[in-house]
């Protein structure tokens, strides 16, 4: 799995909008922000919605934070000396341990969908960044063709909705979060929107 603001496939504008949110979350949660990513964030445009306001806040911080500060914040939050302030894995949030049954269930679903883990990735597949990247791919067709909303909903319900909202809530108020505080708010609000949209589409 490789993150990047690469070109999307032929998907409708609403789906493209959703895919960009998942990609933003994946990029920032998957590795410390570099100069290119901070520059891309500075080009984002918010609006008068709650998510739009959080995007504006993220943009403002991206204009003032250095790559070194962003890296230090990322490492404090997610890596730490022994562990970070937050542990961004599905298995941990659902069982209190890493590499448990939720990870095995995800791997089974990935096999079913034809999604393979990159050899360059050492972390378990249930990292929040990888899950957001997979949702992006399911929307735009990275792993074949774009999935139907019903199939997207199944993946979302089974692997994201049952823990990611809590993770994003905790990220928003984490002691070390500066750049990541508005990202936590974006993630929390976006999870709410996604959950409601899937219910309506069902």
Q: What is the rounded CA–CA span in Å between residue 184 and residue 138? A: 22
Q: Which two tokens stand for residue 136?
A: 């992006």
Distances (CA, A) of 30 to 53, 121, 169: 23, 10, 18
For the chain, domain boundaries: 13-201
201 contacts 149 by C-beta, under 8 angstroms: yes
Q: Give the domain 13-201 fold.
A: TorD-like (1.10.3480)
**What's this model's pTM, rounded to 2 decimal places?**
0.92
Distance of CA 75 to the CA centre of its chain: 17
Residues 6 or more apart whose CB falls under 8 angstroms from that of 161 comprise: 191, 194, 195
pLDDT digits (tens, 9 = 90+) for 89-145: 999 999 999 999 999 999 999 999 999 988 888 899 999 999 999 999 999 999 988
Give the model's confidence band at 9: pLDDT under 50 very low, under 70 low, under 90 confident, else very high. very low
Give the model's confidence band at 38: pLDDT under 50 very low, under 70 low, under 90 confident, else very high. very high
Distance of CA 196 to the CA centre of its chain: 18
Phi, psi of 89 (to 5 degrees): -125, 140
Please tell me the total number of residues recorded for the chain in this structure.
Answer: 202
């Amino acid at each position: 799995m490789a993150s990047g603001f690469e070109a999307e496939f032929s998907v409708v504008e609403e789906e493209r909008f959703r895919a960009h949110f998942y990609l933003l979350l994946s990029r920032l949660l998957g590795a410390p922000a570099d100069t290119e990513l901070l520059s891309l964030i500075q080009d984002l445009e918010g609006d008068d919605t709650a998510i739009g306001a959080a995007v504006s806040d993220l943009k403002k911080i991206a204009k003032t934070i250095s790559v070194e500060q962003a890296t230090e914040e990322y490492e404090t939050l997610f890596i730490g000396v022994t562990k970070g302030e937050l542990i961004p894995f599905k298995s941990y949030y659902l069982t209190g341990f890493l590499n448990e049954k939720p990870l095995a269930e995800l791997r089974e679903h990935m096999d079913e969908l034809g999604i393979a883990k990159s050899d360059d990735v050492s972390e378990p597949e249930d990292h929040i960044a990888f899950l957001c990247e997979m949702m992006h791919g399911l929307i735009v067709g990275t792993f074949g063709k774009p999935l139907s909303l019903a199939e997207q909903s199944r993946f979302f319900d089974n692997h994201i909705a049952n823990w990611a909202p809590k993770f994003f809530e905790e990220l928003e108020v984490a002691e070390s979060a500066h750049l990541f505080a508005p990202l936590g708010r974006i993630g929390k609000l976006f999870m709410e929107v996604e959950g409601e949209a899937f219910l309506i589409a069902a």
